[in-house]
Amino acid sequence: MENSGFCNDNYTSETSDDDLVDLTGATCDFPEDVPYLDGDDSAGRSKGGQAQNGSVDVLDLLQGWGSGVGTYDDFNTIDWVREKSKDRDRHREISRKRRQSITALLLSVSDAFSGWLLMLLIGLMSGALAGGIDIAAHWLTDLKEGVCLNGFWFNHEHCCWNSKETTFQERHRCPQWKSWAELTVGVTEGASAYVVNYLMYVIWALLFSFLAVFLVRAFAPYACGSGIPEIKTILSGFIIRGYLGKWTLVIKTITLVLAVASGLSLGKEGPLVHVACCCGNIFCHLFTKYRKNEAKRREVLSAASAVGVSVAFGAPIGGVLFSLEEVSYYFPLKTLWRSFFAALVAAFTLRSINPFGNSRLVLFYVEFHTPWRKATRLGRYPVLEVAVVSLATAVLAFPNDYTRMSGSELISELFNDCSLLDSSKLCDYGPLAKGGEPAGNLSEGTVGQAERPAGPGVYTAVWQLAMALLFKMAITVVTFGMKVPSGLFIPSMAVGAVAGRLLGIGMEQLAYYHHDWDMFHGWCSPGAHCITPGLYAMLGAAACLGGVTRMTVSLVVIMFELTGGLEYIVPLMAAVMTSKWVADALGREGIYEAHIRLNGYPFLEPKEEFVHKTLATDVMRPRRSDPPLSVVTQDGMTVEELEGLISDTSYSGFPVVVSPESHRLVGFVLRRDLVISIDNARRCQEGIVGVSRVIFTEHTPVEAQGAPPPLNLRAILDLSPLAITDHTPMEITVDIFRKLGLRQCLVTQNGRLLGIITKKDILKHMAQMANRDPDSILFN
Amino acid sequence: MENSGFCNDNYTSETSDDDLVDLTGATCDFPEDVPYLDGDDSAGRSKGGQAQNGSVDVLDLLQGWGSGVGTYDDFNTIDWVREKSKDRDRHREISRKRRQSITALLLSVSDAFSGWLLMLLIGLMSGALAGGIDIAAHWLTDLKEGVCLNGFWFNHEHCCWNSKETTFQERHRCPQWKSWAELTVGVTEGASAYVVNYLMYVIWALLFSFLAVFLVRAFAPYACGSGIPEIKTILSGFIIRGYLGKWTLVIKTITLVLAVASGLSLGKEGPLVHVACCCGNIFCHLFTKYRKNEAKRREVLSAASAVGVSVAFGAPIGGVLFSLEEVSYYFPLKTLWRSFFAALVAAFTLRSINPFGNSRLVLFYVEFHTPWRKATRLGRYPVLEVAVVSLATAVLAFPNDYTRMSGSELISELFNDCSLLDSSKLCDYGPLAKGGEPAGNLSEGTVGQAERPAGPGVYTAVWQLAMALLFKMAITVVTFGMKVPSGLFIPSMAVGAVAGRLLGIGMEQLAYYHHDWDMFHGWCSPGAHCITPGLYAMLGAAACLGGVTRMTVSLVVIMFELTGGLEYIVPLMAAVMTSKWVADALGREGIYEAHIRLNGYPFLEPKEEFVHKTLATDVMRPRRSDPPLSVVTQDGMTVEELEGLISDTSYSGFPVVVSPESHRLVGFVLRRDLVISIDNARRCQEGIVGVSRVIFTEHTPVEAQGAPPPLNLRAILDLSPLAITDHTPMEITVDIFRKLGLRQCLVTQNGRLLGIITKKDILKHMAQMANRDPDSILFN
The per-residue pLDDT for range A386-420, each reduced to its tens digit, is: 778 888 888 888 888 888 887 778 887 887 766 54
Residues of chain B contacting A344 with CB distance shorter than 8 Å: 569-570, 573
Residues of chain A contacting B552 with CB distance shorter than 8 Å: 336-337, 340
What does the pLDDT average to over A340-355? 82
Q: Considering chain A, what is the average pLDDT of its residues?
A: 77
User: Which residue among B108, B553, B658 sits closest to A750, beta carbon to beta carbon?
Assistant: B658
Inter-chain touch A658–B750, beta carbons under 8 Å: yes
Inter-chain touch B719–A728, beta carbons under 8 Å: yes
Beta bridge partners of A429: A454
Q: Which residues contact A398 (CB under 8 A, 6 or more apart)?
A: A198, A201, A202, A404
Question: What is the pLDDT confidence band of residue B53, given thresholds at 50, 70 and 90?
Answer: very low
Q: What percent of chain A has pLDDT over 90?
A: 14
Residues of chain B contacting A731 with CB distance shorter than 8 Å: 84-85, 88
The Cα–Cα gap between B481 and A272 comes to 50
Which residues of chain B from 80 to 119 reach within 8 Å of chain A, CB to CB? Answer: 81, 84-85, 88-89, 91-92, 94-95, 98, 108-109, 111-112
A340 touches chain B (CB under 8 A): yes
The answer to whether the CB of A286 falls within 8 A of the CB of A280 is no
Which residues of chain A from 125 to 164 reach within 8 Å of chain B, CB to CB? Answer: none
Inter-chain touch A344–B739, beta carbons under 8 Å: no
Residues of chain B contacting A750 with CB distance shorter than 8 Å: 658, 664-666
Inter-chain Cβ pairs, chain A and chain B, closer than 8 A: 184
Residues of chain A contacting B752 with CB distance shorter than 8 Å: 664, 751
Beta bridge partners of B723: A723, B746
Query: Which pLDDT score, from 0 to 100, does residue A404 have?
Result: 81
For the stretch B598-610, pLDDT in tens is: 877 878 777 677 7
Query: What is the rounded radius of gyration, in angstroms, for the C-alpha atoms of chain A?
Result: 30
> Terminus-to-terminus CA distance in chain B, angstroms?
42
Residues of chain B contacting A725 with CB distance shorter than 8 Å: 665, 667, 719-721, 723
B336 touches chain A (CB under 8 A): yes
Inter-chain touch A553–B340, beta carbons under 8 Å: yes
The Cα–Cα gap between B691 and B640 comes to 6
Which residues of chain A from 719 to 748 reach within 8 Å of chain B, CB to CB? Answer: 719-725, 727-729, 731-732, 735-736, 739-740, 748
Residues of chain A contacting B731 with CB distance shorter than 8 Å: 84-85, 88
Q: Considering chain B, what is the average pLDDT of its residues?
A: 77
Question: What is the pLDDT confidence band of residue A252, given thresholds at 50, 70 and 90?
Answer: very high
For the stretch B723-770, pLDDT in tens is: 898 888 888 898 888 888 888 899 998 888 989 998 888 888 888 887
What does the pLDDT average to over B320-327? 88
Query: Which pLDDT score, from 0 to 100, does residue B231 have?
Result: 92
Inter-chain touch A95–B725, beta carbons under 8 Å: no
Residues of chain A contacting B320 with CB distance shorter than 8 Å: 553
Question: How far apart are the CA of A540 and the nearest CA of chain B, in angstroms?
Answer: 19
Question: What is the pLDDT confidence band of residue B75, given thresholds at 50, 70 and 90?
Answer: confident
Residues of chain A contacting B658 with CB distance shorter than 8 Å: 750-751
Q: Distances in Å between the alpha carbon of B458 and those of B429, B444, B501? A: 7, 17, 11
Query: Which pLDDT score, from 0 to 100, does residue B511 have?
Result: 80
User: Which residue among B91, B340, B748 sits closest to A611, beta carbon to beta carbon?
Assistant: B91
- What's the gap between Cα A577 and its chain centre? 23
User: Which residue among B336, B731, B780 sits closest to A85, beta carbon to beta carbon?
Assistant: B731
Query: Which pLDDT score, from 0 to 100, does residue A447 have?
Result: 41
For the stretch B634-649, pLDDT in tens is: 888 888 999 999 998 8
How many CA atoms lie within 13 Å of A50's alpha carbon, on the beta-carbon side? Answer: 25
B340 touches chain A (CB under 8 A): yes
Residues of chain A contacting B111 with CB distance shorter than 8 Å: 779
Q: Which residue of A has its CA nearest to B550?
A: A337
Q: Which residues contact B580 (CB under 8 A, 6 or more apart)?
A: B546, B547, B550, B552
The Cα–Cα gap between A622 and A627 comes to 7
Question: How far apart are the CA of B229 and the nearest CA of chain A, in angstroms?
Answer: 18
Query: Which pLDDT score, from 0 to 100, does residue B46 have?
Result: 35
Which 3 state secondary structure label does DSSP give B714?
Answer: helix
Most confidently predicted of A362-371, B597-606, B690-699:
B690-699
Which residues of chain A from 655 to 684 reach within 8 Å of chain B, CB to CB? Answer: 657-658, 662-667
User: Which residue among A561, A732, A748 sits closest to B85, beta carbon to beta carbon?
Assistant: A732
Beta bridge partners of B429: B454
For the stretch B154-185, pLDDT in tens is: 887 777 766 655 555 555 667 788 888 888 88
Query: Which pLDDT score, from 0 to 100, does residue A40 have?
Result: 36
What does the pLDDT average to over A205-231? 89
User: Which residue among A667, A722, A729 sits closest to B85, beta carbon to beta carbon?
Assistant: A729
Residues of chain A contacting B93 with CB distance shorter than 8 Å: none
User: Which residue among A570, A751, A776 sits closest to B752, beta carbon to beta carbon?
Assistant: A751
Most confidently predicted of A135-139, A327-331, B246-250, B349-353:
B246-250
Interface test with B, best of A60, A554, A558, A566 (most B CBs within 10 A): A566
Q: Bin B440: left if φ > 0, else alpha if -120 < ψ < 50, else beta.
A: left
Question: How far apart are the CA of A635 and the nearest CA of chain B, in angstroms?
Answer: 13
- H or E segment at A340? helix A333-353
Inter-chain touch A88–B325, beta carbons under 8 Å: no
What does the pLDDT average to over B350-369? 47
The Cα–Cα gap between B720 and A753 comes to 14
Interface test with A, best of B310, B553, B573, B718 (most A CBs within 10 A): B553
Q: Which residue of A has its CA nearest to B697?
A: A750
Question: How far apart are the CA of B571 and the nearest CA of chain A, in angstroms?
Answer: 11
**Is the predicted pLDDT of residue A322 greater than 60, yes or no?**
yes
Beta bridge partners of B667: B656
User: Which residue among B95, B664, B728 sits closest to A720, beta carbon to beta carbon?
Assistant: B728
Which of B743, B747, B610 is CA-nearest to residue A723? B747
Residues of chain A contacting B607 with CB distance shorter than 8 Å: 333-334
Question: How far apart are the CA of B727 and the nearest CA of chain A, in angstroms?
Answer: 6
Q: Cβ-count burial of B386 within 10 angstroms (0-12 exposed, 13-18 middle, 19+ buried)? A: buried
**Is the predicted pLDDT of residue B63 greater than 70, yes or no?**
no
For the stretch A48-92, pLDDT in tens is: 333 333 333 333 444 444 456 667 777 778 888 888 888 888 888
Residues of chain B contacting A317 with CB distance shorter than 8 Å: 317, 557
How many CA atoms lie within 13 Å of B42's alpha carbon, on the beta-carbon side? Answer: 28
Inter-chain touch B720–A728, beta carbons under 8 Å: yes
Query: Which pLDDT score, from 0 to 100, does residue A521 have?
Result: 66
Which of A210, A254, A239 is CA-nearest to residue A391? A210
Inter-chain touch A735–B81, beta carbons under 8 Å: yes
